[in-house]
Amino acid sequence: MIKVLHITKRYPPYIGGIETVCHDVCKALNGKYEQMVLAFNDKNETIEEEVDGIKVIRASVFKVVASQPLSKDYGKLLDNIFKTFKPDIIHFDYPNPYSAAFLLRCLEKYKFKGKFLLFWHMDIVKQKILRSLFVPQTKKLLKIADLVVATSPNYLKDTSFLPDYKGKIDIIPLRVGDFRTTLTPNQIEESEKIKKQFENKKIIFFYGRHVKYKGLTYLIDADKYLNQDECVILIAGKGKLTNELKQQAKDFKNIKFMGVLSDDQINSYLNACDIFAFPSISRNEAFGISLAEALYFGKPAVTFKIKGSGVNFVSLNNVSGLETSNLDSKEYANNLNLLMHDMDLYQRLSKGARQRALNYFQKETFEKKILDAFASLK
């Protein structure tokens, strides 16, 4: 059986976008390839375990710098994998510059003759100094890759790195998680309670991390242009900006912070809400899986236009939602108002949202594309 080594930052049960995608790739390949995962632990201890029948090695971490875990064990672990597991295909989740340095060394040291798949999740956006330092490394990874996977044509078009490698790039949009595709009776019951709690009001819902690029300050600012008696804005999740955002929203009686919700609760709120707010403002938001999940529930989304982000591929303007000029809170409010008051528009976009998700972000579509991608490397 062909052996695949997956190299990623973290791996479930750790929660995160790239972690989930790597897990989805592993599930798509399960039973068809022999697999191993090398990731980082959340503490200074290296452990080996089995997840869904796949061996997962979590390297010890002594420090995290600029979102990059550092490990004293990583080099030895990767050396040992090359000696003993001897992968035929290596799948590498980018960005991950610390791991890339060790990988490039091992590829040369062991004269790797297999295939290399580079999964390009996003550019290094936030850490501009680090980005410039790792340009040679990034170019080398792209040069040696047999296949590069990007998640949207939008991101491909506006990244400075990928256009030179179009001949070996495959676009594979991400998928909606299994836990979002089926509503349980209890989730339906809870969603009815939510609707009743906010009876006669439109429910605008957001869930995600409270960090700058998520644009929540613009969603809160938009509320001053809304009739606060006819809608409620529910903000779920948490992050380093939570207290600052609560302070900004203290005079808005219709904004409620929900804290961290379970997957069951998120399903109930997605089912209950009328509009999904997705106010991300930069290319740090490379795709927007929660946006795809909301579309799956048939909820029209209000987004900002972000040059080079997959957000405006996931939800199309006037098809599955409404786009807003970036950072324009007043226009964002106008689009929310349109969806609250124009029922013909709302119904059309609701149907379009559901159809968009079914066409592009289903498990079956993703898994077929992943299997085809790996088959092309044999």
For residue range 82-120, list pLDDT tens digits in order: 999 999 999 999 999 999 999 999 999 999 999 999 999
Statement: residue 357 has pLDDT above 60:
yes
Q: How far, CA to CA in Å, does 334 sit from each of 30, 43, 331? A: 47, 46, 5
Statement: residue 146 has pLDDT above 90:
yes
Statement: residue 126 has pLDDT above 60:
no
Statement: residue 131 has pLDDT above 90:
no
Q: How far, CA to CA in Å, does 325 sit from each of 87, 304, 316, 328, 334? A: 47, 6, 14, 6, 11
The residue ranking higher by pLDDT, 378 or 58, is 58
Statement: residue 355 has pLDDT above 70:
yes
85 by Cβ neighbours in 10 Å (0-12 / 13-18 / 19+) ranks as middle
Q: Could you tell me which residues come within 8 angstroms of residue 268 by beta carbon, excluding any fewer than 6 positions away?
A: 187, 188, 190, 191, 194
Count of C-beta atoms within a 10 Å radius of residue 138: 20
Cα within 13 Å of Cα(298), Cβ side: 7
What is the Cα–Cα distance from 172 to 178, expressed in whole angstroms? 18
Range of weakest confidence among 65-74, 131-140, 256-265, 361-370? 131-140
Q: Residue 194: beta bridge partners?
A: none
What is the Cα–Cα distance from 340 to 230, expressed in whole angstroms? 9
The predicted model gives 171-200 an average pLDDT of: 96
Report pLDDT for 122: 86
Query: Under CATH, which number does the domain 3-175+362-375 receive?
Result: 3.40.50.2000
The predicted model gives 133-137 an average pLDDT of: 83
**Backbone φ and ψ of 36, nearest 5°:** -145, 145
Mean residue pLDDT across the chain: 95
The predicted model gives 135-140 an average pLDDT of: 92
The predicted model gives 322-336 an average pLDDT of: 98
Statement: residue 61 has pLDDT above 90:
yes
State how far Cα 112 lies from the chain centre: 31
In this structure, whether the domain defined by 178-360 belongs to CATH 3.40.50.620 is answered with: no
Report pLDDT for 248: 98
What is the Cα–Cα distance from 147 to 168, expressed in whole angstroms? 5
SS3 assignment, position 79: helix
The predicted model gives 70-83 an average pLDDT of: 97
Range of weakest confidence among 146-160, 210-224, 244-258? 146-160
- 3-175+362-375 and 178-360 share one fold: yes
Statement: residue 125 has pLDDT above 70:
no
Q: Are 58 and 47 in contact (CB under 8 A)?
A: yes
Instruction: For the chain, give every domain's residue range.
Output: 3-175+362-375, 178-360
Q: Are 37 and 13 in contact (CB under 8 A)?
A: no
- Give the model's confidence band at 277: pLDDT under 50 very low, under 70 low, under 90 confident, else very high: very high
List the structure tokens of 119: 């999964």
Read off the pTM: 0.92
Report pLDDT for 330: 98
**Percentage helix, strand, coil for the chain under 3-state DSSP, each rounded to 5:** 45, 20, 35
The predicted model gives 135-145 an average pLDDT of: 94
Report pLDDT for 135: 87
pLDDT > 90 fraction of the chain, expressed in percent and rounded: 88
What is the Cα–Cα distance from 135 to 346, expressed in whole angstroms? 45
Statement: residue 203 has pLDDT above 60:
yes
What is the Cα–Cα distance from 104 to 108, expressed in whole angstroms? 6
List the structure tokens of 314: 């996931």
- Give the model's confidence band at 130: pLDDT under 50 very low, under 70 low, under 90 confident, else very high: low
pLDDT tens-digit series, residues 151-164: 999 888 877 788 88
Taking the CA atoms of 103, 5, 162 and 15 in sequence, report the sign of the dihedral they define.
negative
Q: Residue 94: beta bridge partners?
A: 120
DSSP labels, 23-55: HHHHHHHBTTBEEEEEEE-SSS--EEEEETTEE
For 103-194, where are the E strands, in sequence order? 115-120, 147-150, 169-171
SS3 assignment, position 261: coil
Statement: residue 124 has pLDDT above 80:
no
